[in-house]
Amino acid sequence: MVIETHTVTKSYGPSPALRGVSLTVEQGEIVAVTGPSGCGKSTLLHVMAGILRPDGGEVRHHGARIDDLSEAKRSLLRRTDFGVLFQFGQLVAELPAVENVALPLLLGGSGRRQATAQAVEWLDRLGVPELAQQLPGEMSGGQQQRVALARALVSGPKVLFADEPTGALDTLSGERVMGLMVRAARTQGTSVVLVTHDATVAAHADREIRLRDGMVDGEHLGSAVAKAAR
């Protein structure tokens, strides 16, 4: 398994967010985590990505525990093996698109010329090469999210974690971003853990895991949309 959790728990003060969640994600698989607001979806994604440390249970990446790693080592994983895509992109406002995309490579020690070349390649792959020198404030929401997706995928991550990636977009822009994300992930064999409350977004997944009150409430195989994308 590429990423898996075993009876993971997490609380915020006296309020439990996760109550013993176990799931597995295989290489190249796209898994949607769905459920009502407050059910623990985003907390689970953040625990799996090493952003949060669970209170109990285990998180494993290729069989090795990551929940007990230091913050520095978990941060390194998010520059090498993991990519993260948030609802609002979270681009660096002062940097043009090409530098935003190149940032993970530069932080990982790549030379500026190589990092810039890879960033330009990903902007072109996602259909927005013309945005290379534009600042985030000069882009539409859909354009910003494509740039953020390029940044999340530029280092060739084993797992892409996407937290409500279309939540701030209109329907058409959301469908475009999802289509691009799925195609890009399929191309390089990246696994995707996708948190969403939108059934049309979840339909792109191979498998859907439903959470309720911090626990797994059910599981469905993917729809025709996911099958057609393979």
Mean pLDDT, residues 165-193: 87
3-class secondary-structure state, position 167: coil
pLDDT tens sequence across 165-177? 888 888 888 888 8
User: Which pLDDT does position 226 carry in this prediction?
Assistant: 53
pLDDT tens sequence across 137-147? 999 988 999 99
For residue 228, pLDDT over 70 is answered with no
pLDDT tens sequence across 77-130? 988 899 999 877 689 999 999 999 999 999 888 999 999 999 999 999 888 999
Share of the chain above pLDDT 70, in %: 96
3-class secondary-structure state, position 170: coil
For residue 57, pLDDT over 50 is answered with yes
| Residues found in the chain | 230
What residue ranges do the domains of the chain occupy?
A: 3-229
The CATH number of domain 3-229 is 3.40.50.300: yes
User: Which pLDDT does position 16 carry in this prediction?
Assistant: 96
Global pTM value:
0.91
User: Which pLDDT does position 221 carry in this prediction?
Assistant: 80
For residue 223, pLDDT over 80 is answered with no
Distance CA 78, CA 155 (A): 10
3-class secondary-structure state, position 144: helix
Contact status, residue 190 vs residue 158, Cβ threshold 8 Å: yes
Q: What is the DSSP secondary structure assignment for residue 205, as one 8-state letter?
A: S
Contact status, residue 101 vs residue 123, Cβ threshold 8 Å: yes
Distance CA 143, CA 96 (A): 12
Distance CA 119, CA 185 (A): 16
For residue 224, pLDDT over 70 is answered with no
Q: Which two tokens stand for residue 132?
A: 């290379």
Contact status, residue 73 vs residue 27, Cβ threshold 8 Å: no
Distance CA 34, CA 204 (A): 13
List phi, psi (to 5°) of 31.
-115, 125
Pairing of strands 3-12, 82-85: unpaired
User: Which pLDDT does position 162 carry in this prediction?
Assistant: 94
